[in-house]
């Protein structure tokens, strides 16, 4: 096949490209320029959008012996990822820009361009597996064998058509062996540290970045911290940097009656009121999901021993019953294992065993009285 290898400048994508060549594919490497001013994004080894990364990707392509190009997707990235990030926070939600980037950039914009240019698939260094569907119709997305590096959560937004044109050569290899292989191949990125956090937030301070870009954004004004009875127990300088489940940095002036720590239970970005309480009151066993994305056939109801939901990248799996609404626009999730500190805007990725069924954006959470 003629394939595009998306090369971030890191070790995973470099080894994935090399393996694609060894598998007999006609491979062309591409690096995505996601900012017209790369210096405004992360620098050094912490990021995935820098000039340094572009140079690392080019050197890796030269060593592998494949053509290499830089594709400028900065406008698309700004509109679909950066602006979406800002809009979600402005609405009081907590977005995951990595999922949005996979959905809108790496497996929509890139794949659309690749197919238009006559390529058959896109290769990436994600740790996940695409395999033929059990019923012989289409393909399925599964967890990688290395559970510590599994990235199926951030790929739960991919559709069946996108998965049919995706190759993940690292599915069966633990990360330490990938680094060893890179060294054997003479790839200079063999020991390059993994990227972390949000690539377009230069210093890792998301709240500070939002205040700079959107000085009038909801959540920047000081407000009250109250307990569950409504009594004021402290104050804050803005809800923007606060998260559901937060314990540290609250500086509460009134201790709890039982002397135990209190956690952020609820954040009201418009009024600025933050409610705190005991950890057990963070428990959630009801989730309403919207904007579902399905990796294959749209289900109506999922239940059984293998059905789980993951609510954070590298987070725990929770046994669940999943029901899709009649018009398909809403997903009701009952968690049989309660979760803690879950906020609207996060993604709920649904699994059946190791298979990714799909995902939805969390719109609301709740707790059934007397639930298990």
Written as six digits, the tokens of 48 are 């995935």
Angle at 23 between CA 18 and CA 28, to 5 degrees: 50
What DSSP letter does each residue of 267-311 carry, written as one string? EETTTTEEEEE-GGGGEEEEEEEEEEEESSSPPSEE-STTEEEE-
Q: CA-to-CA distance for 55 and 38, rounded, in angstroms?
A: 12
Specify whether 295 is catalytic.
no
Helix 175-184 and helix 11-22, axial crossing angle in degrees, nearest 10: 70
Provide the strand spans (E) within the chain. 2-6, 26-33, 68-72, 121-123, 128-132, 139-143, 166-167, 223-226, 232-236, 263-268, 273-277, 283-294, 301-302, 307-310, 317-324, 330-340, 347-352, 355-366
Q: CA-to-CA distance for 182 and 194, rounded, in angstroms?
A: 14
Q: Is 328 left (phi over 0), alpha (psi -120 to 50) or beta?
A: left
CB 102 within 8 A of CB 155: yes
Options 48, 98, 101, 295, the catalytic residue: 101
CB 129 within 8 A of CB 142: yes
Options 48, 49, 98, 199, the catalytic residue: 199
Q: CA-to-CA distance for 132 and 292, rounded, in angstroms?
A: 23
Written as six digits, the tokens of 220 are 């920047």
Catalytic annotation, residues: 101, 199
């Amino acid at each position: 096949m003629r394939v595009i290898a998306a090369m971030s400048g890191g070790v995973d994508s470099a080894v994935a490209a090399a393996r694609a060549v060894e598998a007999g594919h006609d491979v062309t490497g591409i690096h995505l320029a996601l900012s017209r001013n790369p210096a405004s994004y992360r620098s050094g080894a912490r990021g995935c959008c820098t000039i340094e990364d572009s140079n690392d990707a080019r050197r890796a392509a030269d060593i592998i012996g494949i053509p290499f190009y830089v594709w400028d997707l900065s406008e698309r990235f700004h509109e679909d990822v950066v602006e979406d990030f800002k809009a979600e926070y402005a609405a009081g939600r907590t977005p995951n820009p990595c999922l949005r980037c996979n959905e809108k950039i790496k497996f929509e914009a890139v794949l659309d361009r690749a197919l238009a240019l006559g390529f058959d698939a896109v290769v990436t260094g994600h740790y996940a597996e695409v395999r033929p569907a059990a019923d012989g119709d289409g393909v399925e997305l599964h967890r990688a064998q290395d559970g510590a590096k599994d990235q199926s959560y951030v790929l739960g937004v991919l559709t069946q058509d996108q998965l049919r044109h995706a190759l993940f050569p690292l599915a069966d290899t633990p990360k330490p062996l990938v680094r060893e292989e890179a060294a054997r191949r003479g790839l200079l990125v063999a020991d390059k540290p993994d990227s972390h956090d949000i690539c377009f937030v230069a210093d890792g301070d998301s709240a500070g970045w939002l205040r700079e870009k959107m000085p009038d954004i909801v959540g920047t004004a000081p407000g009250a911290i109250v307990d569950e009875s409504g009594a004021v127990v402290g104050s804050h300088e803005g809800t923007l940097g606060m998260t559901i489940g937060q314990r540290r940095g609250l500086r509460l002036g009134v201790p709890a009656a039982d002397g135990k720590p209190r956690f952020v239970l609820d954040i009201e970005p418009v009024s600025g009121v933050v409610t705190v309480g005991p950890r057990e009151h963070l428990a959630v066993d009801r989730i309403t999901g919207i904007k579902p994305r399905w990796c294959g056939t749209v289900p109506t109801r999922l239940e059984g021993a293998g059905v789980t939901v993951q609510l954070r990248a590298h987070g725990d799996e929770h046994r669940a019953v999943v029901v899709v609404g009649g018009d398909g626009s809403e997903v009701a999730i009952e968690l049989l294992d309660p979760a803690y500190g879950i906020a609207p805007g996060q993604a709920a990725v649904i699994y059946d065993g190791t298979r990714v069924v799909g995902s939805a954006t969390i719109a609301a959470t709740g707790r059934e009285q007397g639930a298990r």
